C-alpha cells in the first residue's frame, strides 16, 4: 500500500509544479530536443545571460559538447569564459554568500528547473517580465508575482508595461488585476526573434535536466523491437514443441 501511495505522489508532483502558475495562461514552448542547432544557441544564451548568477552544476561541459555535436575546443573557445577544464561542471563564479547579499537569497541551480517548473512555465516566465517601480530591480513577472530576479534578457526583448483590467468581486467591489503585458520599448531583437531565443534557452534547460533522454528513448525502442521479435520466435517455438501433443 505504501508503494502505491508513493507512486501516486510521484505522478502528481509534476501537476503540482505546473499548478504553481495559478490562473495565468501558459504559452506552449514547442521545443525540439533533437534540434542540435537550437540546443547550441540555447547553451550560448545560458552561459551569456544566466551563468553569471545561476549554475548548472550537475552538467559537465564535455558531456554537453558530445551531446550537442560540438568539440571540446568549441566549448572552450565559445562557452567557457572563466578558465577551468572542459571536464568541469557548469558552475557559477558567484558564491552563495554573494548571491544572498545581492538578491536576498542565493540564486538556485538550474540543472533541474525544467523538471520542477515545466517547459511551458519557463517559456512564459522568461517572456513576461514587466516594469514595476515598486520592486527592487524595477520589474515584476506575470507568472511569478513579486519575483526577486532582474530581467536579464531586457536588452534583447525590450521593456514591457503591464496591462490591467477591472473586475468586480462577489461583494461588488471593483479592483484591477493583471491581464497581460505589452511592449513599450523595443529591444535588439524582434518579437519573433526573441521568442526563438527563449525557446532555444528552454530547449537547453530541458536537455540538461536529463542529458541521457535521447539515448534512453532510442534504447527503449530497440528493446521493444527485440521483445516483439522474441515473442514471435517464442510463439513459433511453442507451436513446434506442442504440435504433436494435441
Complete DSSP assignment for 177-224: EEEEEEEEEE-SS-HHHHHHHHHHHHHHHHHHH-TTHHHHHHHHHHHH
Reduced to 3 states (helix: H, G, I; strand: E, B; else coil), residue 168 is strand
Give residue 10's pLDDT.
Answer: 41
Give residue 22's pLDDT.
Answer: 55
Residue 109 has pLDDT above 50, yes or no: yes
Residue 192 has pLDDT above 50, yes or no: yes
Give the residue with greater pLDDT, 90 vs 171.
90
Give the residue with greater pLDDT, 184 vs 7.
184
Q: What does each C-alpha distance from 233 to 117, 222, 224, 226, 243 come to in angstroms? A: 45, 17, 14, 11, 15
Q: Tell me 135's DSSP state.
A: S
80 vs 72: CA distance, rounded Å: 10
Number of C-beta neighbours around residue 91 at 10 A? 16
Give residue 169's pLDDT.
Answer: 77
Residue 176 has pLDDT above 90, yes or no: no
Give residue 246's pLDDT.
Answer: 60
**5's grid cell:** 501511495
Residue 204 has pLDDT above 60, yes or no: yes
3 vs 10: CA distance, rounded Å: 11
7 vs 10: CA distance, rounded Å: 5
Reduced to 3 states (helix: H, G, I; strand: E, B; else coil), residue 162 is strand
Reduced to 3 states (helix: H, G, I; strand: E, B; else coil), residue 114 is helix
Residue 15 has pLDDT above 50, yes or no: no
Residue that has been written with the C-alpha cell 530547449 in this structure: 203
Give residue 16's pLDDT.
Answer: 42
202 vs 50: CA distance, rounded Å: 12
- Residues 207-244: tens digit of each pLDDT: 999 998 878 877 888 889 988 888 888 888 888 788 77
Reduced to 3 states (helix: H, G, I; strand: E, B; else coil), residue 145 is coil
- Residues 50-77: tens digit of each pLDDT: 999 999 999 999 999 999 999 999 999 9
208 and 56 Cβ atoms separated by less than 8 Å: yes
- In DSSP terms, 131 is beta-bridged to 139
Helix, strand and coil content of the chain, in percent to the nearest 5, comes to 50, 15, 35
Which stretch of 4-13, 16-25, 87-96, 122-131 has the lowest confidence by average pLDDT? 4-13
Amino acid at each position: 500500500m505504501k508503494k502505491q501511495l508513493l507512486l501516486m505522489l510521484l505522478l502528481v508532483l509534476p501537476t503540482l509544479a505546473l499548478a504553481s502558475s495559478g490562473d495565468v495562461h501558459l504559452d506552449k514552448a514547442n521545443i525540439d530536443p533533437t534540434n542540435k542547432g537550437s540546443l547550441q544557441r540555447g547553451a550560448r544564451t545560458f552561459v551569456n545571460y544566466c551563468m553569471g548568477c545561476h549554475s548548472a552544476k550537475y552538467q559537465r561541459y564535455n558531456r554537453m559538447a558530445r551531446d550537442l555535436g560540438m568539440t571540446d575546443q568549441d566549448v572552450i573557445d565559445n562557452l567557457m569564459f572563466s578558465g577551468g577544464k572542459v571536464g568541469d561542471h557548469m558552475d557559477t563564479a558567484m558564491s552563495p554568500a554573494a548571491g544572498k547579499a545581492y538578491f536576498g537569497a542565493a540564486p538556485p541551480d538550474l540543472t533541474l528547473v525544467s523538471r520542477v517548473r515545466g517547459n511551458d512555465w519557463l517559456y512564459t516566465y522568461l517572456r513576461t517580465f514587466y516594469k514595476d517601480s515598486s520592486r527592487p530591480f524595477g520589474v515584476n513577472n506575470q507568472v511569478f508575482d513579486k519575483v526577486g530576479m532582474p530581467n536579464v534578457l531586457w536588452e534583447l526583448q525590450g521593456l514591457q508595461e503591464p496591462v490591467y483590467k477591472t473586475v468586480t468581486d462577489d461583494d461588488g467591489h471593483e479592483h484591477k488585476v493583471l491581464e497581460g503585458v505589452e511592449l513599450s520599448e523595443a529591444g535588439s531583437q524582434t518579437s519573433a526573434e526573441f521568442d526563438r531565443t527563449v525557446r532555444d534557452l528552454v530547449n537547453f534547460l530541458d536537455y540538461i535536466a536529463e542529458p541521457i533522454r535521447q539515448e534512453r528513448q532510442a534504447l527503449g525502442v530497440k528493446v521493444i523491437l527485440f521483445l516483439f521479435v522474441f515473442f514471435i520466435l517464442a510463439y513459433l517455438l511453442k507451436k513446434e514443441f506442442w504440435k504433436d501433443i494435441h
